[in-house]
Amino acid sequence: MDLTKFFVPWYDKIKPYTTDDIAMAWENPELHRMFVNENPVIPSEKVVEAVANAVRLGNRYPDNGVRVRKKIAQRHKVSPDNVYIGNGSSEIIELMCRLFLTPGDEILLPNPIFSLYELRALNVGANPVSIDVTSDMQYDTDAMLAAINSKTKLMVLCNPNNPTGGFIPDEDIKRLLEAGIPTLFDEAYLEYHPDHESKDHMIEEYPNMVVSHTFSKAYGMAGIRFGYALADEKIIQAFRKIQIPWTASLLSIAAAEAALDDMEELKKKVDYNNAQIKYIYDELSKIDGLKPYFSYGNYMIVDATDLGVNGQEVVDYLFDKKKIMIKAVKTLKDRPGIFRISVGKTEENKACIEGIKEFFAAK
């Protein structure tokens, strides 16, 4: 029997989010993981203890996180009814696509951006429309607005953006939101810079806006899987209508509660990350012709195009010579030399910089 004839008509357009490199890193612990924007600092003992206590209740289904939603609501000065919790911000991406996109609709994305937005849109039969960032790696707001048409049913903004690392000016955010398109405003990396306020306060004025956060980055809980959305109560209710129940487990809820109560630990992780970002940027800036872009996340893109180098060459060299895993970025504006480094442990960052300097010294 040929079961493919029962597949959804847009099946051939669907692309999986590949995690083969993560599997390889787990299978080879000698490799240095600087490729997937993980936090190299392990969870605190308070988080570990909270998870261990939750395991003892693992025979029971979790609630919808009443206590943790109240804590999140207090932090953002919203009602708990404006908070949805789930399995990382990845679940929020999934819910936005399922709620707003049907086959043939368009999702408007800046390019480059986290690839999962495009992949989950393809999964529901929608068509991604990507708008290149400007030459200085900023959102091209005019071009994005010009791309909106009757098929545009969802827009994604990431602040700071992954992988370019910059913030969007407030005036551009407002111009895009005023288009009235349902908009996912991803603040996955915002906790690294608490001096930059969340745009949560815009939800009341722009009910088409959904703000998402994750505990995978600054909180260092990527493997625990917890995230949340802030939105108009009608959207939160719609999420609950289409959600898979219990995507936030007892363990992840307990971990998130403990992390929210431990701001000292968060500050320690943030201070470490930002010091290492400065180190990486300063050291790579010393290589003539190499262009690192300062980042407000836990990653940095670097452009080696002017040195006649393809980004994949640097990736391969570090893997072969140093057992360091970083990531190539697809060609952008005819510049094939872009690669991305995720912040690692102190010794890993030093080894990565040394390897890059060795690579270019041999050119």
In the prediction, which pLDDT does 333 show? 86
Helices (H) and strands (E) in the chain, counts: 12, 13
Q: Summarize pLDDT for 37-81 with one digit per residue, the tens.
A: 999 999 999 999 999 999 999 999 999 999 999 999 999 999 999
Q: What is the DSSP letter of 332?
A: B
| Mean pLDDT (whole number) for 321-325 | 98
Please, where in the chain does CATH 3.40.640.10 lie?
Answer: 45-262
Architecture of domain 45-262: 3-Layer(aba) Sandwich (3.40)
358, amino acid identity: E
Cβ atoms of 36 and 28 within 8 Å: the answer is: no
Q: Summarize pLDDT for 85-99 with one digit per residue, the tens.
A: 999 999 999 999 999
CA pair distance 156, 347, nearest whole angstrom: 35
In the prediction, which pLDDT does 275 show? 98
Cβ atoms of 191 and 159 within 8 Å: the answer is: no
Answer whether residue 1 shows pLDDT above 90. Answer: no
The rounded radius of gyration (Å) of the Cα atoms in the chain is 21
Between 1-5, 185-189, 190-194, the lowest mean confidence (pLDDT) is in 1-5
Please, where in the chain does CATH 3.90.1150.10 lie?
Answer: 3-41+264-361
| Mean pLDDT (whole number) for 125-154 | 97
Q: What is the DSSP string of 272-310?
A: HHHHHHHHHHHHHTTSTT-EE---SSSEEEEE-GGGT--
Cβ atoms of 173 and 157 within 8 Å: the answer is: yes
Q: Which two three-digit tokens encode residue 163?
A: 């992988």
The torsion angles phi and psi of 261, rounded to 5 degrees, stand at -85, 0
Cβ atoms of 160 and 297 within 8 Å: the answer is: yes
In the prediction, which pLDDT does 100 show? 98
Cβ atoms of 248 and 85 within 8 Å: the answer is: yes
| Mean pLDDT (whole number) for 279-304 | 98
CATH top class, domain 3-41+264-361: alpha beta
Burial per residue of 7-20, b for 16 or more beta-carbon CB atoms within 10 angstroms, e otherwise: eeeeeeeeeeeeee
Higher pLDDT, 331 or 150: 150
Mean confidence (pLDDT) of the chain: 97
CA pair distance 205, 160, nearest whole angstrom: 21
Q: Which two three-digit tokens encode residue 307?
A: 């040195």
pTM for the full model?
0.96
Answer whether residue 111 shows pLDDT above 90. Answer: yes
